[in-house]
């Protein structure tokens, strides 16, 4: 009996000791993750939620800060967020479910299912749409050019009418990768038409309910009440304001979910309860261009390395919502980070969480390769020597480099600039971006070139130029009313204080700055650069706008 009692006590102590060790390990993780989210752990600020999946279960979940600042409602792991473009992987998944059932083919022409998509003379497949290689202009840029604010109520019908009015593509399908939200709106509409259900109904019945994602829905009605939802905010410098979102369109965006529910989705990639391993494999496979090259994009996701580990991820940003889901399939690990604060960087936060759990699986060499390089000190004179305007001919855009507050800055347009920190005499690291982006300056004759590399990819070269100095009389030749049939809208160009000004009934006025002959630049994200076209008599006939995800959109000059 005594020996038996000793054995029982020994067993109890052993079990107790194991539990204590596990508890200590868990507490250590908790403390380190809490440290990552210190900046959000304030009831008077917008917040964040995080969940970590390891080996098929949630091993950590927590909320920080405020989900609703007007009513002091805290963020919890059960708080519902709009997760923006993280929605896209669900849209591809829905298409592949129907393909597996033989109801459509991933290589179908989109016009087979949505005949009102214009015939551009080139076949656009569902695969092209899912890989951002369709050439279709982006819906948000088009809407903004047409005079919409992104906090307007924007419905599926609005987007579909805009698509139906397009006359041109950015490029031939499959030739390039350019991110296009339009393609995913069309994919969601394809699911609806083939299944006979709304996209929200189909995904609820076929994905969310089977996975137990009880707080998840595609939000296709801007007036719908959603329990436990968060609202988004931005900082004005003098306090916070609401960042309003009234979307009523789905596919490219508008998934409402929690970090808990999204964890169930992440687990489905490892052990499919919905869909098949073949669907998962297809979604994770890198897409190819017509020339056989890959570009880091899969289908509704992006594939790359983080500190030597394979990462499959997507981020999202609408209004003040910022979201990120990262999966590390070889480690059976995933992390989701949501925030309702426009200045949040959930990708960086998620990867710091990944460091906590997976750091010991990265070799020293891999960690050094991924580390941000040491910065050096350059004089104001040295950094100022790189200031100027730079033109990229292939991308048809201008960038400005200028020195401000002891820092060199890379300026893309209104409220869109990034600081550059020197890592050698001519090379700079860009801060506050989710990629490894370096900017190098080189002399080319009497001018400089600016070479941008992203994640050690192909260099993007821009040449320094001096913006053309038009006289007032010359600028007056560009004035008039310019109308777009594709957008059903017009801009009026006028002279004001010796400057060429663009006006629109729904937008604030903005100036057009001369770059080169007949080429101007605007400081609006949606307007970009303007190339004027002329008649045989050399008079202005119209202009074409290029703004990143929209190229060469024609506005014709109306007769006086």
Query: Is a pLDDT exceeding 50 seen at residue 418?
Result: yes
**So what's the pLDDT on residue 244?**
97
pLDDT band at 38 (very low <50, low <70, confident <90, very high): very high
Q: How far is CA 164 from the centre of its chain?
A: 25
**What does the buried/exposed string (b/e) look like for 468-503 if buried means 16 or more CB atoms within 10 Å of the residue's CB?**
eebeeeebeebebbbbbebbebbbbbeeeeeebbbe
Higher-pLDDT residue of 119 and 372 is 119
pLDDT band at 370 (very low <50, low <70, confident <90, very high): very low
Of 26-40, 129-143, 260-274, 522-536, which gets the smallest average pLDDT?
26-40
Radius of gyration, CA atoms only, the chain:
26
In terms of Cα–Cα distance, which of 303, 304, 341 is closest to 322? 341
Query: Is a pLDDT exceeding 50 seen at residue 9?
Result: no
Q: pLDDT for 430-456, tens place per residue?
A: 987 767 899 999 988 778 999 999 877
Query: Is a pLDDT exceeding 80 seen at residue 26?
Result: no
- Provide the CB-side half-sphere exposure for 339 (13 A, CA): 26
Q: How far is it, in rounded angstroms, from Cα 535 to Cα 518?
A: 13
Mean pLDDT, rounded, of the chain: 92
Q: Which domains does the chain have, with CATH numbers?
A: 81-135+170-296 (3.40.710.10), 380-465 (2.40.128), 472-557 (2.40.128.50)
Encoding tokens for residue 140? 């948000």
**So what's the pLDDT on residue 260?**
98
């Amino acid at each position: 009996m005594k020996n038996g009692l000793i054995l029982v006590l020994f067993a109890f102590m052993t079990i107790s000791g194991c539990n204590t060790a596990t508890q200590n390990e868990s507490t250590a993780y908790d403390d380190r993750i809490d440290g990552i989210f210190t900046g959000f752990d304030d009831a008077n600020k917008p917040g964040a939620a995080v969940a970590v999946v390891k080996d098929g279960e949630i091993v950590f979940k927590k909320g920080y800060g405020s989900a609703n600042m007007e009513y002091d409602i805290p963020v919890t792991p059960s708080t519902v967020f709009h997760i923006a473009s993280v929605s896209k992987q669900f849209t591809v998944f829905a298409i592949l479910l129907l393909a597996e059932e033989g109801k459509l083919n991933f290589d179908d022409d989109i016009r087979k299912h949505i005949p009102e998509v214009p015939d551009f003379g080139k076949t656009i497949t569902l695969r092209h749409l899912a890989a951002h290689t369709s050439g279709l202009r982006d819906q948000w840029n088009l809407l903004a050019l047409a005079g919409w604010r992104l906090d307007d109520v924007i419905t599926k019908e609005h987007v579909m009418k805009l698509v139906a009015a397009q006359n041109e593509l950015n490029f031939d399908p499959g030739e390039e990768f350019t991110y296009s939200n339009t393609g995913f709106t069309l994919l969601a509409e394809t699911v609806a038409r083939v299944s006979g259900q709304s996209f929200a109904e189909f995904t609820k019945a076929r994905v969310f309910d089977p996975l137990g994602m009880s707080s998840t829905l595609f939000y296709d009605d801007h007036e719908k009440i959603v329990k436990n939802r968060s609202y988004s905010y931005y900082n004005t410098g003098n306090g916070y304001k609401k960042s309003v979102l009234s979307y009523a369109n789905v596919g490219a965006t508008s998934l409402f979910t929690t970090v808990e529910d999204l964890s169930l989705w992440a687990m489905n990639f490892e052990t499919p309860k919905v869909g098949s391993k073949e669907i998962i494999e297809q979604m994770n496979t890198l897409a190819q261009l017509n020339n056989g090259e890959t570009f880091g994009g899969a289908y509704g996701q992006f594939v790359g390395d983080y500190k030597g580990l394979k990462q499959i991820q997507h981020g999202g940003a609408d209004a003040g919502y910022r979201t990120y889901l990262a999966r590390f399939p070889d480690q059976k690990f995933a992390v989701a980070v949501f925030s309702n604060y426009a200045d949040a960087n959930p990708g960086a936060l998620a990867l710091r969480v990944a460091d906590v759990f997976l750091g010991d699986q990265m070799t020293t060499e891999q960690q050094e390769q991924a580390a941000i390089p040491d910065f050096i000190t350059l004089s104001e004179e040295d950094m100022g020597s790189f200031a100027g305007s730079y033109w990229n001919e292939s991308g048809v855009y201008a960038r400005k480099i200028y020195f401000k507050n002891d820092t060199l800055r890379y300026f893309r347009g209104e409220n869109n600039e990034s600081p550059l920190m020197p890592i050698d005499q001519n090379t700079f690291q860009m801060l506050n971006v989710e990629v490894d982006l370096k900017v190098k300056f080189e002399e080319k004759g009497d001018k400089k070139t600016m070479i941008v590399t992203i994640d050690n990819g192909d260099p993007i070269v821009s040449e320094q130029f001096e913006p053309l100095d038009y006289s007032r009389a010359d600028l007056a030749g560009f004035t008039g009313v310019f109308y777009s049939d594709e957008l059903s809208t017009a801009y009026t160009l006028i002279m004001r204080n010796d400057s060429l000004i663009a006006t629109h009934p729904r937008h604030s006025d903005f100036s057009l700055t001369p770059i080169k002959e007949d080429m101007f630049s605007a400081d609006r994200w949606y307007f970009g650069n303007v190339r004027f076209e002329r008649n045989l008599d050399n008079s202005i006939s119209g202009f074409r706008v290029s703004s990143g995800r929209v190229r060469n959109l024609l506005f014709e000059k109306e007769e006086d």
